[in-house]
Amino acid sequence: MAIMEVLKIPNSFLYKKTKPIDTVDLKIRKIFDDMRETMFDSCGIGLAANQVGVDKRLIVINLNGDEDRKEQDAIYLANPKIEKKSDEMITYSEGCLSIPGFYEDVLRHEKITVSYIDYNNVRQKINATGLLSICLQHEIDHLNGIVFIDHIREDKKEFIEKSFA
C-alpha cells in the first residue's frame, strides 16, 4: 500500500470531471486501499480520486474522525450517482484536504440517496443524512471538478484562492 500526494488548489486535476470505471477489479481495489491509507494519514473524513491525481470516479469516506479509525468502517464508492435529494437543506462548516486550513459554511441537501458500485463490485444504494450526506455531496462535487469554495461568496473564495497562488 502507499500514501499518495494530496493535490492542493489550483492544481488543474481538481477542476476536471473524472471518468467512470468499468468494474471494481484488483487494480481499482488497490487505488481504493491507497486512497484510504492517504485519507487516514492526513486525518480526512473523505477523499476523491482526483485529489490524488487519479482520473476516475472513486470516493472513500470514513466519518469516525480521530477516534479509532477502523479500516472496516470505510465506505468505498465507484461511479456514485445522486438519485434523490431532499428539499430540506443543511449548513455545515466544511473543509477540504485540497484547501487545508480554511473552513466555510456550505448549504447542502439534508438527505440524499446515492447509487454506486462497492469494493466488491456489487451495486448498492445508500440513504444518507447529516454529515454522511454532506460528505457524499462534497466528494461527488470533486468528481465533477467542483470544490467547496465554488459554493461560497466570491470575495471569500478569492481570498482563499490568493493564499494558494
Q: Where along the sequence are the contacts to ligand QAP (CB under 6 A)?
A: 43-46, 92, 94-97, 100-101, 134-135, 138
Residue nearest to ligand QAP (CB): 44
Per partner kind, with CB cut-offs from 5 to 8 A, the member of ligand QAP, Co ion, none near residue 152 is none
31: enclosing H helix or E strand = helix 26-41
CA 4 to CA 53: how far, in whole Å?
9
**Alpha carbon of residue 135 to chain centroid:** 6
Least Å from the CB of residue 25 to ligand QAP: 27
- Chain residues in the site for Co ion (CB under 5 A): 96
Chain center to CA of 22: 20
Shortest Cβ 94–ligand QAP spacing (Å) = 4
Q: How far is the CB of 121 from ligand QAP (least distance, A)?
A: 25
Q: Which of 104, 139, 154, 158 is catalytic?
A: 139
Do residues 52 and 32 make contact, with C-beta atoms less than 8 angstroms apart? Answer: no
Q: Judge whether 139 counts as a catalytic residue.
A: yes
Query: What does the block give as the cell for 40?
Result: 487516514
Out of Co ion, ligand QAP, none, what residue 132 binds, judged by CB under 5 to 8 A for its kind, is: none
43 binds, among Co ion, ligand QAP, none (CB under 5 to 8 A by kind): ligand QAP
Edge-first strand listing for the sheet containing 75-85: 46-48, 58-61, 75-85, 111-117, 123-129
CB of 69 to Co ion, least distance (A): 18
Report the distance separating Cα 40 and Cα 46, nearest Å.
Answer: 9
Catalytic residue numbers read 139
